Amino acid sequence: MASDGAAVFAPTGGARRFRANLLVVLAVVALLLALIPLIAVFGYVFVNGIRSLLSLDFLTQDPPADLSATGGGVRNALVGTLEMTGLASVIAVPIGLGVAIFAIEVGGGLARAARFLIDVLSGLPSIVVGIFVYATVVVTQGHFSGFAGSLALAIVMLPVVTVSAEEILRLTPRPIAEGARALGLARWRAILSVFVPIGLSGIVTGVLLGVSRAIGETAPLIFTSLGNNFFTLDLNQPMQALPLLIYRNALNSAYASARDRAFGAALLLILIVFGFNLVGRWLTARRRLAGSRR
Amino acid sequence: MTESARAPEQRGALDLAGLRRRRWTGDLAFRAILSALTVAITVVLGLMMIESFISASPVYQKFGIIGFVTGSEWAPSFTIYGAWPFIYGTLVTSFLGLLIAVPISVLIALLLTDLAPARLRGPLGIAVDLLAAVPSVVYGLWGLLVLVPAMRPLEQGIAGTLGRVVPFFGPPTPGSSYFAAGVILAIMIVPIVSAVTREVFASTPRIQREAVLALGGTRWDVARTVTLPIGRAGLLAAVVLGLGRAIGETIAVTLVIGNSDNIGKSIFSPGFTLASVIANEFNEATETLHPEALIALGTVLLVVSVIVNAVAIGIRNRFTGGSRSGF
Amino acid sequence: MTIGIRRFGALAVAASMAIAACSSSGATSSPTPPSAAPSTAPGATPATSGAASSASGSGAPVTYRCTKGDGTLSGAGSTFINPLLSKMAGDYNSKCGVQVNYQSVGSGAGVKDWQQNTVDFGASDAYLADSEIAAAAANGAPVEVPTTFGAVVVAYNLSGLSGTIKMTPDIIANIFLGKITTWNDPALAAANPGLNLPSTAISVVHRSDGSGTTSIFTHYLTAVSTDWVTTVGAGDPTKSAAKTVTWPVGQGASGNEGVTQGIKGTDGAVGYIDVAYAIQNQIPFGDVQNKSGNFITASLASIAAAANLPSYPVDLRFNLTNTDAAQGYPIAGTTWIIVYKDLSKVMKSQDRANSLVDFIWWAIHDGQADAAPLDYGSLPANLLAQDEAAVRSINWAGAPLLP
């Protein structure tokens, strides 16, 4: 490891080599410092949650009404999380992609305004998004709903999707773009049949990153989907989600059984998000490979 | 993007007229859809922000903008609302988070671009990225139940030595504190800062790096003379991105910061950040003007976020403006 | 359609409640008037409970009705009552097929949701303030139904201590005012002659997420300490008994778990948590001296004793802190279910309104059987009678929903 970048014939002073090696040591220490929390967090949640997760009931049953009872599962939260995150993606992805294409292809004041607001949004605490959706959707509708939750998650996802799509589209090689136009392709045609396919895996990566950001969010759901102790597929009803279940059961429950369920849900959530991220990474890696082959 | 200013029909002069017309209507429709989407989202987000300012206006009217921002007392039962304790908490925790996270992130990025064997870079990169995938409620729980108790000896050590001289590091060390929040934030922003920094470092010209090595330079020389100077602007953008995340992080910070309305004298004192006080108190905000004051804190965050993003955009433009000239 | 049902309902109530419930909608299953009179319902009423409620002191069989509505009801509020209401909801669902979705968002949020009519009922550990009632005036007057009792305990972590610390009201107030700073303070030593108290510094942990637990605890401090009222509340009791107060000392933590972690992590720490939480997790807590001078351990019996008032106000807004009961634990409180009196203004159909009223009726009768196993106090007979009257007062455009 220490030899692969060293100069072969130029004489290297002891002090310089020492500095170079010190840099490597420092960097490795930094990496370890960053990985310790990852291993610690995952290990902690794993140890506390694996027992719940090992049972199939955990995925196929709802939590018992009696919080002090053992058994049961988190089916309602799992399904709610997937359904709301899914709808959020359906809302956020076309908008994010559209704004990204607009910003690159059209530009101008409107694009700058939209991009600026979306950038600002990315720094806004998600709880503020939840409060906004509560005031506009929940109060107007007169009840909490999975739909309101989806909307809040969509707003949370939007910046991630937009920013990554824009970056990817920006990277599309200029000659390809010019070639497409030279062939007489309409601009929209060129975008949809040349730009987007080339950047597709990158765009998918951005979407997956957005999904993993939204799926772990608690704060925007508190005031929108509220949570539901029962199983429902109806987006017009209050809907449970894994982060909500974790937040409420791990923090304020007197009962070990409810806390165990919360840790099981935490492990399940981490595995889902990890899964999404690994798929995203894999797609990125494929894109890079394809790019380097070109 | 100069070609985007041109009208579609001006390009491709060799095309047949019919094709041109079809292209033109297609482009027009496409552009209309995109414009509609962009207008819609701009309006929604704009309204959202304007709405927040309107909801918060009674508080600004009562205390004045300056009065609210600099007021150091927060007592909902007395209808006294000052944002300074939370602005202070946000500054201290974000700064601490960056102080810890940035050097680590830069070193990791160097490791993964220049130093580590190529075969290890991918897996290690994924591992660091996975840190960003842990939901913040899980970080919060772990912070509360594991990290805070584990850090107590360290805190007591610092408070007992350095703290005797510098009150900012002084005791008592109850555990939940600005310090704990800063550490949790550092853990949460390392993957963000290191990922962006890595991209930036990786985009520095390979030829220059190899030239330094060929001239007999060490990897330290590569980092010092090529990667760091060229990647500096990108690094700043990464830091600003991390700062944005740190400022807005809610649940994890709420669980470890100790949630006190007072300004803590020591870094080991409990406090509040803007985001965490909103999360903590909005549910039960029944006192006069209390919800409005919390939304006013949200608008303060909004303004901070605008500033941070404006800085980020400025840096990014300068940075990408430089590299775009290569096209 | 709505008007039709409404008018028909009003007519029918005048004639016979049972028929009305049967015919106004097919979704109403096997109605039986929940009167104190013995059930005269036909045999084909599977959902009718024949058993008398254990909580009812009258001895007469109390029956309940299962209006199905659209099969769902939603409620939000108190974190404290969550285990009990969730259990009740599960039992009620298996009996009546109505899913009552209760979410523990916190009492204040529950009241807010109720005010903005985003839930069918709210649940709060503090009764509605006049200003909160006024804020919801557009939807009409509230009905507040006390549903269960609980207590808040002063838990601590003091290594090397055997035995339970006895606490007087002054000691508790002074600890949370920052005036008593060590565990061997003369006041503590005087109250605990048998205990060998160490000189460990006291570090205070309080709930930071505004909560009903805090509300009960600050109510208690306000009742027993003029110092607390003059300093924290600047002389105004309403400001010193609140869900969010500006604490003079200590660190804040979220939820019972946050406070517990804060206590566990520091030798010498003290904080307040729900009794059910402390009992379930075997966290030591102090005996508290009550108005009669007795040191009382928080328990189901001592909470029940504190809650057994000779009479309750007509609007059912009352405090249980520092009551006169000789064996009562002094830091006790009630959780109220809150609904609108005239549901025609806030609900879409009378059928749903019936469904809501039926659940509340069930909760204060049969549902009380769920209380004791989860460390909650159940309703005494004289309060139940007043609860019944309150639930009967809930109406649909003036027409009672229950006979």
DSSP letters spanning A173-188: -HHHHHHHHHTT--HH
Higher pLDDT pick, B59 / C22: B59
- Pairwise CA distance, residues B31 & B33, whole Å: 5
Distance CA C286, CA C295 (A): 9
Please give the pLDDT value at position B17. 62
pLDDT above 60 for A191: yes
How distant is the Cα of C51 from the closest Cα of chain B, in angstroms?
39
Q: Which of A233-247, B111-125, C297-311, C363-377 has the lowest mean pLDDT?
A: B111-125
Contacts of B302 in chain A (CB under 8 A): 120, 124, 128
For the stretch A18-43, pLDDT in tens is: 777 888 888 889 888 888 988 899 99
Using the beta-carbon criterion (under 8 Å), do B115 and A27 form an inter-chain contact? yes
Q: Mean pLDDT across chain C, nearest whole number?
A: 82
User: Could you tell me where the DSSP H helices lie in chain A?
Assistant: 14-53, 57-60, 75-105, 108-122, 126-133, 139-141, 146-171, 174-182, 187-190, 196-215, 219-222, 242-252, 256-293
Q: Which residues of B touch A99 (CB under 8 A)?
A: 34, 37-38, 41
Residue B58 identity: P
Q: What is the band of A102 on the pLDDT scale with cuts at 50, 70, 90?
A: confident
The upper half-sphere exposure of residue A200, i.e. CA atoms within 13 Å in the direction of its Cβ, equals 6
Of chain C, the percentage scoring pLDDT greater than 70 comes to 84
- For residue A289, the model assigns a pLDDT of 59
Q: What is the rounded CA–CA span in Å between residue A247 and residue A253?
A: 10
Give the nearest chain A residue to C81 (CA atoms): A253
**Chain B residues touching A179 at Cβ < 8 A:** none
A interface with C, Cβ–Cβ < 8 A, is 64-68, 138-139, 142-144, 222, 226-230, 237-238, 248, 250-256
Does B104 have pLDDT greater than 70?
A: yes
Assess B171–C contact: CB distance below 8 Å, yes or no. Answer: no
Model confidence, pTM: 0.83
Percentage of chain B exceeding pLDDT 90: 20
Q: Hey, which chains touch B, using 3+ CB pairs under 8 Å?
A: A, C
Residues A215-232: tens digit of each pLDDT: 989 889 988 999 999 999
Non-local (6+) Cβ contacts of A255 within 8 A are: A67, A68, C83, C280
B284·C201 Cβ contact <8 A: no
C216-236 pLDDT, tens per residue?
899 999 999 999 999 888 778
Whether C21 shows a pLDDT value over 60: the answer reads no
pLDDT band at B316 (very low <50, low <70, confident <90, very high): low
Which of A254, A142, A1, A46 has its CA nearest to residue C81? A254
Give percent of chain B with pLDDT exceeding 70. 89
How far apart, in whole angstroms, are the C-alpha atoms of residue B167 and residue B264? 11
* pLDDT at site C45: 34
Identify the residue with better confidence: C381 or A104.
C381
> C73 CA to chain A: closest CA distance, Å?
10
Task: Indicate the pLDDT class of residue B319, thresholds 50, 70 and 90.
Answer: low
Pairwise pLDDT comparison (C10 vs C272), residue with the higher score: C272
Q: Would you tell me which residues 87-126 of chain B have a C-beta closer than 8 angstroms to some C-beta of chain C? A: none
pLDDT tens digit string along B135-144? 888 998 899 8
Closest CA to C150 of C284, C285, C334, C340: C334
Q: State the average pLDDT for chain A.
A: 83
* Mean pLDDT of the region C381-388: 93
Query: pLDDT category, B238, cuts 50, 70, 90?
Result: confident
Mean pLDDT over residues C170-175, rounded? 96
Percent with pLDDT over 90 in chain C: 53
Taken in order A249, A252, A253, A259, is the CA torsion positive or negative? positive
Mark residue C397 as left, alpha or beta (left: phi above 0; alpha: psi -120 to 50; beta: remaining).
left
Residue partners of C394: CB distance under 8 A and separation at least 6:
C143, C339, C340, C341, C343, C353, C357, C360, C400, C401, C402
Q: Minimal CA–CA distance to C73: which of C48, C92, C51? A: C92
* Confidence at residue C35, expressed as pLDDT on a 0 to 100 scale: 40
Among candidate residues C155, C159, C134, C133, the one with its CA nearest the CA of residue C144: C133
Contacts of A285 in chain B (CB under 8 A): 122
CA closest to C269 among chain B residues:
B174
**What domains can be seen in chain B, in order of their start residue?**
84-320 (1.10.3720.10)
Kindly determine whether residue B137 and residue A216, on different chains, have CB atoms separated by under 8 Å.
Answer: yes
Q: Which residues of B touch A119 (CB under 8 A)?
A: 309, 312-313
Q: Which residue, A103, A225, A145, A131, is CA-closest to B41?
A: A103
Alpha-carbon torsion C247, C236, C145, C25, what sign? negative
The pLDDT of residue B37 is 86
Mean pLDDT, residues B242-250 = 86
Question: Rounded to whole angstroms, how far apart are CA atoms B149 and A44?
Answer: 14
Q: Decide if A231 contacts A62 (C-beta within 8 A).
A: yes
| C53 pLDDT higher than 70 | no
pLDDT grade for C24, boundaries at 50, 70 and 90: very low
Q: How confident is the model at residue C37 (pLDDT cuts 50, 70, 90)?
A: very low
Q: What 3-state DSSP class applies to A207?
A: helix
**Of the listed ranges B90-104, B267-281, C246-260, the one predicted with least confidence:** C246-260
Kindly compute the dihedral angle of the four CA atoms of residues A188, A189, A192, A197, in this order, to the nearest 10 degrees. -140
Asked if C183 contacts C195 with a C-beta cutoff of 8 angstroms, the reply is no
Residue with the larger pLDDT of the pair A6 and B16: B16
The count of other CB atoms within 10 Å of the CB of residue B18 is 8
Q: Which of A239, A168, A176 is nearest to A201 (CA)?
A: A168
Instruction: Tell me the range of A111-125, C145-159, C258-272 where mean pLDDT is highest.
Output: C145-159
* Residue B16's pLDDT band (cuts 50, 70, 90): low
Nearest by CB: C103 against A142, A227, A253: A227
C111 touches chain B (CB under 8 A): yes
At residue C61, the 3 state secondary structure works out as coil
Residue C11: which residues within 8 A CB-CB, separation 6 or more? C20
Domain locations along chain A: 2-54, 57-293
Find the mean pLDDT for residues C181-201.
Answer: 92
Return the pLDDT at C160. Answer: 82
CB contact under 8 A, B137 and A94: no
Which chains pack against A, by 3+ Cβ pairs within 8 A? Answer: B, C
Per-residue pLDDT tens over the stretch B172-213: 877 889 999 999 999 999 988 888 788 778 777 778 888 888
Domains of chain C: 14-150+333-400 (3.40.190.10), 152-307 (3.40.190.10)
Residue B208 gets the label, from left (phi > 0), alpha (psi -120 to 50) or beta, of: alpha
Q: Average pLDDT over chain B, rounded to whole? A: 82
The answer as to CATH 1.10.3720.10 being correct for domain A57-293 is: yes
CB within 8 Å: A254 and C74: no
pLDDT of residue C350: 93
Q: For residue A281, is pLDDT > 80?
A: no
* Residue C21 CB contacts under 8 Å (≥ 6 apart), including other chains: C28, C31, C65, C67, C354
Which chain B residues are closer than 8 Å to A105 by Cβ?
4, 34
Task: Please state the rounded mean pLDDT for residues B36-55.
Answer: 86
What's the whole-number mean pLDDT along residues C79-96? 92
Question: What Cα–Cα distance (Å) separates residue C207 from each residue in A73, A252, A263, C234, C263?
Answer: 30, 11, 23, 21, 12
* Res B174: pLDDT: 77
Half-sphere exposure of residue C394, counting CA atoms within 13 Å on the CB side? 29
Q: How many residues does chain B have?
A: 327
The answer to whether C231 contacts chain B (CB < 8 Å) is no
Do residue A65 and residue C90 have CB atoms under 8 angstroms apart?
yes
Q: Subunits with at least 3 CB pairs below 8 A relative to chain C? A: A, B
Instruction: Give the helix ranges, DSSP H, for B77-225.
Output: 84-110, 118-130, 136-142, 148-160, 162-165, 178-202, 206-214, 219-222
Task: Report which residue type is found at B279.
Answer: A
CB atoms within 10 A of CB C60: 13
